[in-house]
A and B are shown apart, each in its own frame.
Chain A
Amino acid sequence: MNMVSAMRRVFVTGLGIVSPLGPDSDSNLQSLLCARDAVTTVGSFDVSRTRCKTAGQIPDEWMKDAFPQRRSSSRLHRSARMVAMALHEARESAKRPCPELLIVGTTSGGMSYGELYYRRLLATHSRKGLARLVGNYMPQKPVLDALNANGLRIPTQIVANACSSGSNAIGHGFELVRSGLRACVACGGYDPICELVFVGFDSLQAATSEKIRPFDRERSGMVLGEGASFLILESEESTTARGATAVAEVVGYGMANDTYHLTQPHPSGIGPKLAMQRALRSGGIDPEEIDYVNAHGTATIFNDATEGSAISELLDDVHVSSTKSMMGHALGAAGAIEAAFCVLALREQFLPPNINFVEPDPIWKFKVVANASRRAPLRFALSNSIGFGGANATLILRRV
């Protein structure tokens, strides 16, 4: 391996998104433009005893053709369908490159199969069908299924840095291409909704029984979401050589550990602030150049307080929205989906909305993109992710 000699430009040449806002990037774009609320009542497990009863969910009908050629696909976890679809779209939109590496962020993988395994043990001593659940439960399995479905046999790296996982996966991919270690990588994240995580957030009283209202003075908590998204990142040389079209450029990545608490961010906002500062420094970008921030914005009291302070302090009166207001928090996929939303915002020159917004909090200086998308000239977009364990990550993208 050679030490970094020269920094290469890193282009986004393809993207794929499967989220509660739509089964592909076009439908996600339309949902962002029309400020669609995709949060609905949870139907896949019992929520009668939880405070929160809603989430952003992907209808299974959207994913029924994810594995058209595999008869055994009914055995696979539904997250394999999400990953396969998003990866397929990303490759198709990038004119079918063969990436050298797939880097994927996730937090829970096929956890719902683990839940089903436990419930089956409780209900019966029969072991029929249990092997299928074990084999498809592990986080790397949906990724391998998606690779197989897409005709790819490439190495994978599965990053599990809590809710920053998707951003970290893209950030690592960005650094590999920028440094010249790789010419083309696919990177992103996935997470399906599952009972254990849903109840876990509910037990922490982080989830709300109301609408999710990021950065609102009366915000009361988060709702979960799910989905998958992938970007194809390529060096300029690879992009040109393949005749691919760049849709955006990744220019900065920073990460920070606030080493404070497993679930609570440091009240000073030092974690997100350091991550943003490091991303700006890595891209050689001045804070004033950032036109739009896709915030982590979970709408919990603690997250928005610390992230809001950090954004206010560093970026002053920038436009900010949390697209989680429309589709919930997709955990390990969130950073990847939100990076893809930034690509769409830069390409189409609009500010994605922050819905359910009623009353601004006067302590922050930034401008929340309240309730409706709007046209705006954008050159740089910044995406934040903040996860359990004090894991903070920031990506910066530029219009091409």
Chain B
Amino acid sequence: MKIFVQGVGAVTPLGPTARETWDQLCQGQRAPRKIMASRLGKRDYYWCPVPAKFVSEAARQPRLRRSGTVSLLGAAAGFDAFADAGLKPAPEIKERTAIVFAICSGGVIYTRRLYQEIVTQGANAASPVLFPETVYNAAASHLAALLGIDERCYTLVGDSSVGLSALHFATELLAMQPDLDRCLVVGAEEADWLLADAFASWRMATTKEFFEVYGSSVGTVFAEGAAAVLIGRTGAICLSGSSAGQPFFSHRESAAVAVEFFERLHTEAAPDLIVSSANGTFADDVERVAFTRLFHSVPVYAPKPALGEALGASAILQVALASLALRHRQIPGTLDAGSKLRTVNRQTRAHSGTDALVSCVGFNQQINAVTLQVC
């Protein structure tokens, strides 16, 4: 059974839709950075916020009036994917659609505020408004309610590769459920100084404004955002391969695991484009080793120097960008690319290939990939 990408959606620091984000990336634009002041850690971090006007339509939904940022972002991206597919979530469509949502940190802003209240004012001062929005599936349940989807709605959590795991989960649902026509896979993430501080403690985030990929790994810069991919049983771009992913138990073994995993996933057509997860951390070296070994002449596009690292949203955004690259026959240039990987695509250019690989090396011991093919 073949599964196809029917529509892609996004809301990012560069644009309110996938299409506008794509145009900005192709023009070599980078997301504006702002300073996110650490309240406790004595450190400031840069981040890439999504302008409020990009989610103003979602924010007008009564259901989302008091919801967290992650829910607004997820809803905006989900609706954009439906629009891109030329569909409206009418009753006959919603009955045959499932949602799979990918989250890494989830409602971190409300979670931090709730715990701050508990610690500083006492447990009896904790707000009952905040707690429900801290639950991982809050964003998915808001979106399901907005779309009127009353059956299959899953939230998957994991590291920055979770989006690809969610996409595979969605393909499983479509393979198992003949009464499903399509599945909306959404990844969303909001940013908070606590998140940046935590990842900096873990040597994964930088206090600098920009980061290089495939160069000196100094850490990443976080971003807000969401992306969505609507998959179904017809379309022009086929989801030719997906996987539940592969764990690695130490950084030392991660490159070997990645090589073995990518090799296993690509038994059919070799990719002629790679959209990578490079983000200025150890992940860059893992990908570099695997790409050099297996795909030594395939151009690599890394969107995160332009958009920032949006964790749970990032892998789905990579899939959306790979779909747009195949659709528009174009590859954006990678900003701030270091010298360690020769095949990095540095300038926006035309691309006539038909097979794309989306690679993701997660922060926390997960590697995953999917392949797309023009049909």
Q: Which residues of A contact B (CB under 8 A)?
A: 1-4, 46-47, 49-50, 101, 106-107, 109, 114-115, 117-119, 121-122, 125, 127, 130-131, 133-135, 137-141, 144, 147-148, 153-162, 168, 172, 175-176, 178-179, 181, 195-196, 199-205, 255-260, 262-263, 274, 278, 387-391
Is the CB–CB distance between B41 and A121 below 8 Å? yes
CB distance from B302 to the nearest CB of A (A): 23
Which chain A residues border B158 with CB–CB below 8 Å?
A: 138-140, 156, 158
* B61-101 vs A, Cβ < 8 Å mask (1 yes, 0 no): 00000000000000000000000000000000000000000
Counting chain B residues whose Cβ lies within 8 A of the other chain, the interface size class is 35 or more
The reply to whether A257 and B149 contact each other, CB–CB distance below 8 Å, is: yes
Which chain A residues border B116 with CB–CB below 8 Å? 118
Q: Are A147 and B247 in contact (CB under 8 A)?
A: yes
B324 at the interface (CB under 8 A from A): no
Identify the stretch in B9-17, B169-177, B335-343, B347-355 within 8 Å (CB) of chain A at 4 or more residues: B169-177
Contacts beyond the supplied A134-B201, A176-B176: 7 A-B pairs with Cβ under 8 Å: A46-B123, A101-B244, A138-B159, A175-B172, A195-B115, A278-B151, A391-B141
CB-CB under 8 A from A195, the residues of chain B are 115, 118, 123
State which of B51-59, B130-138, B221-229, B279-287 sits at the interface with chain A: B130-138
Q: Which of B195-217 contact A (CB under 8 A)?
A: 197-199, 201-203
Also in contact, A155 and B135, with CB within 8 A (given A130-B201, A161-B154) = no
Binding site for A on B (CB under 8 A): 1, 3, 40-42, 103-104, 111-112, 114-116, 118-119, 122-124, 126-128, 131-138, 140-142, 144-145, 148-159, 162, 165, 169, 171-172, 175-178, 194, 197-199, 201-203, 243-247, 249, 364-366
- The chain B residue sitting closest to A168, CB to CB, is B154
| Nearest chain B residue, comparing its CB with the CB of A129 | B201
Which residues of the other chain, A, contact B144 by a CB distance below 8 angstroms? 257, 259, 389-390
Determine chain B's interface SS by DSSP, over half rule.
mixed
* Among B119, B132, B140, B202, contact of A119 (Cβ-Cβ < 8 Å): B119
Question: By the criterion CB–CB under 8 Å, are A4 and B159 in contact?
Answer: no
Residues in A whose Cβ lies below 8 Å from that of B40: 118, 121-122
Q: How far is the CA of A243 from the CA of B140 in the complex (A)?
A: 41
Query: B122 near A389 (CB under 8 angstroms)?
Result: no
Q: Which residues of B contact A157 (CB under 8 A)?
A: 156, 165, 169, 244
CA distance A175 to B115 in the complex (A): 38
B157 to chain A, nearest CB (A): 5
Within the complex, which residue of A46, A181, A259 is in contact with B175, where a contact is CB–CB below 8 Å? A181
CB atoms of A4 and B365 under 8 A apart: no
Cβ of B127 and Cβ of A255 under 8 Å apart? no
Chain A residues positioned under 8 Å from B177 (CB to CB): 175
Bound CA span A391–B135, Å? 12
Q: Inside 8 A of B244's CB, which chain A residues have their CB?
A: 101, 155-157
A203 touches B243 (CB 8 A): no
A253 nearest CB across to chain B (Å):
11
* B364 nearest in chain A by CB position: A138
A257, B123: Cβ atoms closer than 8 Å: no
Q: Which residues of A contact B137 (CB under 8 A)?
A: 160-162, 387-389, 391
Asked whether, in the complex, the Cβ of B141 is within 8 Å of the Cβ of A202, the reply is no
The 8 closest A-B CB pairs, nearest first, are A389-B141, A155-B244, A200-B131, A160-B136, A121-B40, A130-B201, A259-B145, A203-B126
Please indicate the chain B residues that have their CB under 8 angstroms from the CB of A109 in the complex: 157
Asked if A202 meets B126 with Cβ closer than 8 Å, knowing A118-B112, A262-B132, the reply is yes
Contacts of B135 in A (CB 8 A): 107, 162, 262, 388-389
Q: A147-B247, A200-B114 are in contact. Are A1 and B123 (CB under 8 A)?
A: no
How far in angstroms is the closest Cβ of chain A from B40?
Answer: 4
Closest Cβ of chain A to B196, distance in Å, is 11
Q: How far is the CA of A74 from the CA of B1 in the complex (A)?
A: 47
Indicate which residue in A2, A154, A158, A160 contacts B1 across the interface (CB closer than 8 Å): A2
**Are A140's CB and B145's CB within 8 A?**
no
Q: Are A262 and B123 in contact (CB under 8 A)?
A: no
Of A127, A144, A205, which is within 8 A of B201 by CB?
A127
A135/B156 contact (C-beta < 8 A), A50-B124, A195-B118 known: no
CA distance A335 to B132 in the complex (A): 20
Cβ contacts under 8 Å, A154 to chain B? 247
**Nearest residue, chain A, Cβ from B40:** A121
Query: In angstroms, how far is the closest chain A Cβ from the Cβ of B329?
Result: 28
Closest to B112 in A: A118
Residues from chain B with a CB closer than 8 A to the CB of A118 are: 40, 112, 115-116, 119, 194
- Cβ of B156: which chain A residues have Cβ within 8 Å of it? 157-160
Which of A1, A139, A389 is the one whose CB lies under 8 Å from B140? A389
